[in-house]
Copies of this chain bind each other. A is one copy, B any other.
Amino acid sequence: METLIALGKKAKQAERQLAQASSIAKNEALILMAEGLLNDTDKIIEANKKDTEAAKENGISESLLDRLTLTQERVEAMAQGLKDIAKLPDPIGLVESMWTNDAGLKIGKQSVPLGVIGIIYEARPNVTSDAAGLCFKSGNVVILRGGKEAFNSNLAVVTSLRASLEGSTLPETAIQLVEDTSRDSANEMMKLNRYLDVLIPRGGANLIKAVVENATVPVIETGTGNCHVYIDQSAQLEMATDIIVNAKTDRPSVCNAAETLLIHKDVAEDYLPVIEEALNEWKVELRADEASQKHLKAFTPATEADWETEYLDYILAVKVVDSLDEAIEHINRYSTGHSEAIVTNDYFAGQRFHREVDSAAVYVNASTRYTDGFEFGFGAEIGISTQKLHARGPMGLPELTSSKYIIFGEGQTR
């Protein structure tokens, strides 16, 4: 088993070659990797069985087991993902602006890879090929550190990807897997400033928190989503119902699902019973504040903790607010800064919500479920940043780049 420092050194060696790789070379390699995954489907599924069987013995939950499981279809989807990445425009080498300064220097700002990206993630083995493909396309070397539950699957996927790279013009060390899945390896990775340019954690709130609190490597914080839908007094009932039902129930386990419904006091009495009925079809449990309780048939009284919780389940906190101000105040206090929506017919309420809500994606009259790199039209997504530095919101290929200034002089001195 190689040490993290050994992996880091190899990554640094591959960095320059990968940064300068042509779009053609990268895309050809991505296609080879996709074909390799298809050819290795049996091996990958076999390795995955070891993981799922161990997981069952350990009494893993159904939903986690589902995330962990690879089927032929899922491997095909991973391969298709790599082919799709190959088709996206190359984010490297763009000179988006160039100007001439007072001294006559031509100064261009050119996109370049970040360098070596570390990804710490949990149970889903499809993240392995996905993240590897996106980092590769953007000219970055990647060091992947998946969860121990998925280790055999991850190893099989990475072995396949690297075998395909051997047939390409680019180094197989562009994609590396940390084989030590102990907590120590994660902790060591968080301090690996010498070899890592950035660390992206993908997973649950606890993982993200641990990385943010301990890492000295620059981190892009992703994915924790305590998202809100606020129904203004001017909202249309039908639109409000559609949006909260969609935001809560379309896929409750993902970060852009709504966790709290805020509703203006003037429409609580009329709207809440209709909304409750609609949510009942999905057996959504309501955690209601005092004011909303009188308009609901079934509920659990909400506590302070409910405003802070990302349920990722068929549970919704409900609170009646006196005003748009109170709604915005509540959101800015409890939100993780991911996605929030207002439903309103009032032009100025929408303007204020856009301006005053401090989150990565702020919606007027649409479901929070659209916060997603594919839905936004980026063609890819490495995660959704909830921090303000470097990138905020869905991150596609451009968010995996840095820049450098290239300067053309003719002998200028100051």
Chain A residues engaging chain B, CB cutoff 8 angstroms: 16, 19-20, 99, 101-103, 105, 107, 112, 114-115, 193, 197-198, 212-216, 218-220, 236, 239, 242-243, 245-247, 250, 332, 350, 354-356, 358-367, 369-371, 375-377, 387-390, 392-393, 402-414
Evaluate whether A363 and B409 lie within 8 angstroms (CB atoms) in the complex, with A358-B19, A389-B402 already known: yes
The reply to whether A389 and B16 contact each other, CB–CB distance below 8 Å, is: no
A246 to B281, CA, bound (A): 75
Identify the closest chain B residue to A378 (Cβ): B101
Once the chains are docked, how many angstroms separate the CA of A221 from the CA of B412? 28
The complex places the Cα of A215 from the Cα of B219 at a distance, in Å, of 11
Q: Please indicate the chain B residues that have their CB under 8 angstroms from the CB of A356 in the complex.
A: 16, 20
Pick from B115, B215, B377, B408: contact of A99, CB below 8 A.
B377
- Taking a contact as CB atoms under 8 Å apart, the answer to whether A239 and B362 are in contact is no
- Whether A375 contacts B103 by the Cβ 8 Å rule is yes
Residues in B whose Cβ lies below 8 Å from that of A366: 103, 105, 407, 409-413
Determine the chain B residues whose CB is within 8 A of the CB of A332 once the complex forms. Answer: 16
Closest CB of chain B to A359's CB: distance in Å? Answer: 7
Q: Are B216 and A218 in contact (CB under 8 A)?
A: no
Residues of B close to A387: CB separation below 8 A: 197, 218
- With both chains docked as a complex, state the minimum distance between the C-beta of A362 and any C-beta of chain B, in angstroms: 5
- Which of B115, B242, B246, B359 is A388 in contact with, Cβ under 8 Å? B115
Q: Which of B101, B220, B243, B246 contacts A377 (CB 8 A)?
A: B101
- Of B250, B354, B404, B414, the residue contacting A393 (CB under 8 A) is B404
Decide if A243 touches B413 in the complex (CB within 8 Å).
Answer: yes
Given contacts A363-B407, A370-B412, contact A193 B216 (CB under 8 A): no
**A332→B20 CA distance, assembly (Å):** 14
A411 touches B216 (CB 8 A): no
Smallest CB separation, A235 vs chain B (Å): 10
Query: What's the nearest-Cβ distance from chain B to residue A149, in Å?
Result: 27
Q: Do B213 and A214 touch across chains, with their CB atoms under 8 A apart?
A: no
Given contacts A114-B389, A406-B354, contact A414 B218 (CB under 8 A): no
Given A354-B406, A376-B405, 11 other A-B contacts at CB below 8 A? A103-B370, A103-B375, A107-B376, A218-B219, A218-B389, A220-B389, A362-B407, A366-B411, A370-B412, A389-B390, A392-B403
A199 and B393 alpha carbons, distance in the complex (Å): 21
Which listed residue, B103, B115, B404, touches A360 by the CB 8 Å rule? B404
* B residues in contact with A355, CB < 8 Å: 20
**Contact between A389 and B99, CB atoms less than 8 A apart:** no
Q: Could you write out 8 A-B pairs with CB less than 8 Å apart? A: A114-B388, A220-B389, A247-B413, A359-B404, A361-B405, A369-B413, A369-B414, A393-B405
| Contact present for B16 and A414 (CB under 8 Å) | no
- Do B377 and A411 have beta carbons less than 8 Å apart? no
> In the bound complex, do residue B402 and residue A364 qualify as a contact, i.e. CB atoms below 8 Å apart?
no
Provide the residues of chain B in CB contact with A404, threshold 8 Å. 358-362, 392-393
Known A197-B388, A215-B216; contact A364-B409, beta-carbon cutoff 8 A = yes
- B250 near A413: Cβ-Cβ < 8 Å: yes
> Bound complex: CA of A332 vs CA of B12, how far in Å?
11
- Nearest chain B CB to A55 CB, angstrom units: 30
